Amino acid sequence: MRMTGNTIFITGGGSGIGQALASAFHAKGNKVIIGGRRKAQLEETVKAHPGMESCEIDVRDPDSIKAAANWLILHHPQLDVLINNAGIMKADQTGGVMDDELTVATIETNLLGPIRLTSALIEHLKAQPEATIVNVSSGLAFTPLAFTAVYSATKAAIHSWTMSLRVRLRGSSVRVLELAPPWVRTDLMGGRDEPRAMPLDMFIDETMDRLAFGVDEILVDRVRPLRDNAGPNELAFVETFNDQMAH
């Protein structure tokens, strides 16, 4: 994708990977608008990056999505990049009695949110001379982590939907990319100080390099074993991976 001169909307831009991507794109001279539910986090991020803007959005709420999309189109008609990054990841009880509220929240945030927001902005993006949609999935889209089974399933669904979206937009001005992070040191699942996770700055540096390459899947080296697992013997890999993560 083009790395400068864009107008970019990033959901979940007040923390973690979203915030770091926003900062990196801002440093390259792009107009960046960050979205999220937590106003204080958005304001703190914007304050640290003069020229950046924010837009409150709850990706679980269809009305909030519509309102944010309308605001973006009105105030930023040059919007040409959407990064669907917002997500939640919590341990679940797959194999036992599930917390239905958590299950619904995870599916609405991680899967329905990107689908609905993309739908709300797609005709605007298609009208741009050149546009990009980046859907953030996960290495767990390809190799699930059993104690976050619903999260892993939503990311697998995002991968599948992204491929369909890419096919449906062939011949249009919109490029569809998938960014599949490995375990990264963020507050997600308390991983900020986890030595097994990839340092956030290292992940962002490698990701920005890969985004400039023109490939459809943005994969840092650390995530490739999870991405390449799919095949007739994938269950054995999944079981070994989960045994390793349990210790």
Q: What is the DSSP letter of 199?
A: P
Active site residue 151: yes
Residue 124's alpha-carbon distances to 63, 119, 131, 148, in angstroms, are 18, 10, 10, 35
The C-alpha angle 109, 104, 110, rounded to 5 degrees, equals 20
From 225, 150, 215, select the one nearest 182 (Cα to Cα): 225
User: Where on the phi/psi map is residue 189: left (φ > 0), alpha (ψ -120 to 50), or beta?
Assistant: left
Cβ neighbours of 122 (radius 10 Å): 19
Q: Which of 9, 151, 161, 241 is catalytic?
A: 151
Q: Where are the beta strands (DSSP E) in the chain?
A: 7-11, 31-36, 53-56, 81-84, 131-136, 174-179, 217-218
Q: Which two tokens stand for residue 10?
A: 């990033």
Catalytically annotated residues: 151
